[in-house]
Chain A
């Protein structure tokens, strides 16, 4: 390397996702020499998510978010559908306030990373970090192939598949029960058709969660988000359970086939008809937050942010990962700045990052919803309940002459969907208290 090229930075950020980008942006803005290393070609190219981001935590980092970010639509309506075969029961809520927007994470991560680069951070893409270097219990920098770069602090923002943290011994190997597989297609419906068919005004968006046999008995659900002129349609499936079901032969379809079935479902497909599928992809996500959190979110010279830190709330009907990632990046940057301004990135100084995380809304939320993943894995909720609801309504509405009373219909549907009423009431309570 020639003499002009530095081999040492104040901070090296691994991963140009939302977490890494926000930390890098704030650190570069504060005048620190920041290097972001990203294995994809450009920021955002390895990203895939559902589609909805909660704005307020992002505004604490980028106050001009609403004006500048690649926002597709503000979510003004939320729908939940319970699906049993061709029968679908839908609840729709019209929001009174705009709190979240839809976008592609590829565009969003690129925007966030550009912000960091404009503030002076250097982005090196197409390069994978192979190792976080530790000497005498302190992180010294990173290694990529034959090259090493020294840093006062390394920010690990590598996302859900935290291979570097595993190598460091800070995180355990991923267990199939801790993660879910997300698959998604982008459907080219066109703005006009979308607005007409979904009754949306310009700039308004719809977020749709589907639960029931769309996942063929695997814990998880379907989602649909309206982008500017395309629709993101996908499924999130519990990996551990899907694997078991595939082994026993219970799961007869491959995951892509399940998504095809959702796309061609007689009810949902009315919206997009036979519009082209522009792209498809898959990505892993976290099932339940707290279980996935590493033992420690820091060590001398290192902080862990975003998905790698297990900071994601998955309530089944909503995933909040991007705003958590950005917010943790912010807390990390603030802590690093303080540490570098005092006696350095020591154990004591970086511990403050974990303390800040624990005092934040993120941790409070994760504690509050603790155990939700167990609920979400309960077939009662993702298969039987949606079935029951549809059977109940079928009993009430699909009659030629005589209708049962609601009580009769309820009792029948409970029986037919194999739900025990007492268990149901008990479980309902446990769900409502965790959601």
Chain B
């Protein structure tokens, strides 16, 4: 089985501050990380490989600094990394991004071997669109299942994908090749291993493809290929928080006290009543 997993190298948004005067993000000095929601996708890909053999190829469209992110997932047991990188890819919205990734997957199928499944995380922490999986599936014309928690092969070569919604567990069987997007925190990722990291350092299984390698029209990539326009960003005004410290001896008093505090706020009380007892 040849599995492609899409990853994104994102600024650690927990460390990003924003400039209240200009409303822009201060990204300087913020370390990048592999998008946390990609880890269930990586884990699912590695589990499929554990069960059925084959290889896992991580793909990212990013500047060369994302090599570090690819090395991280290679350390988890991913076999190859593909960096889709070109200045002409910069400024892409999800349409232009998914286009480049889909073309990358086609190239993998042609030159490395046919891809059976492409797996993506639910969304990224720095843009939260949850578009990429669906859009890649459209470009490729492959079936798409999202909110996935697990997947396995069944008799006639189909992939059975388990997905969990609010009220039900559903199972879908799709023909391969297919695109799957995992749910947030669906699977616990495995740690980095010395032997895999060492292999990555020595064999350097990371390939970089630019716009020419992919044979793409620059009018369809990056800023030029991105019809999305961010019309406006407004920031939520910061809510001043009051700090109250209450230290009773008996934890039961603490519980009572905190409930009283919560119910003393009308909107919180309304929400709690609805959530706890279904009251309107």
Contact = CB atoms under 8 A, between A and B. Distances in A.
Interface stretch (B191-199, B224-232, B252-260): B191-199
A355 interface: no
A145 B194 CA distance: 8
Interface of B: 72, 75, 191-195, 197-199, 201-203
A147 B198 CA distance: 11
19 contacts: A1-B195, A1-B198, A4-B199, A4-B202, A5-B198, A5-B202, A6-B202, A35-B198, A37-B194, A124-B194, A124-B201, A125-B197, A127-B75, A127-B192, A127-B197, A144-B194, A145-B191, A145-B194, A149-B198
B31 to A, nearest CB: 8
Given A127-B192, A147-B195, 8 more contacts: A2-B203, A5-B198, A7-B195, A122-B202, A123-B201, A124-B197, A144-B194, A145-B193
B204 to A, nearest CB: 11
Contacts of B72: 126
Given A2-B203, A145-B193, A147-B193, A126 B75 contact: yes
Contacts of B203: 2, 4-5
B71 to A, nearest CB: 9
Contacts of A122: 198, 201-202
A147 B195 CA distance: 6
Interface residues of A, number: 19
Nearest to A124: B197
Q: Which 6 A-B pairs have the closest CB atoms?
A: A144-B194, A147-B194, A147-B195, A5-B199, A124-B197, A127-B194
Interface in A23-43: 35, 37
Contacts of A149: 194, 198
A5 B192 CA distance: 16
Nearest to A7: B195
A123 B198 CA distance: 8
Contacts of A147: 193-195
A1 B193 CA distance: 11
Contacts of B202: 4-6, 122
A249 interface: no
A149 B198 CA distance: 10
Nearest to B15: A279
Interface in A1-57: 1-2, 4-7, 35, 37
A126 B197 CA distance: 9
Contacts of B193: 127, 144-147
> Could you say which of A37, A124, A126, A145 has the most chain B C-beta atoms within 10 Å of its C-beta?
A124
Q: Which of A1, A6, A7, A149 has the most CB of B within 10 A?
A: A1
A228 B192 CA distance: 35
A127 B196 CA distance: 10
Contacts of B197: 124-127
A80 to B, nearest CB: 32
Interface in A208-254: none
Interface string A133-147: 000000000001111
A53 to B, nearest CB: 23
A132 B189 CA distance: 26
A35 B194 CA distance: 11
A40 to B, nearest CB: 12
Contacts of A144: 193-194
Nearest to B17: A276
Given A126-B75, A127-B75, A5 B195 contact: yes
A23 B36 CA distance: 36
A252 to B, nearest CB: 16
Interface in A246-285: none
Contacts of B201: 122-124
Given A127-B192, A127-B193, A147-B194, A2 B75 contact: no
Contacts of B194: 37, 124, 127, 144-145, 147, 149
A147 B197 CA distance: 11
Contacts of A4: 199, 202-203
A93 B132 CA distance: 62
Nearest to A127: B194
B199 A1 contact: yes
Nearest to B190: A145
A6 B198 CA distance: 8
A126 B72 CA distance: 8
A423 B197 CA distance: 60
Contacts of B195: 1, 5, 7, 147
Residue picked from B191, B192, B194, B199, most chain A C-beta under 10 Å? B194
A7 B196 CA distance: 11
A282 B108 CA distance: 46
B129 to A, nearest CB: 27
A4 B191 CA distance: 23
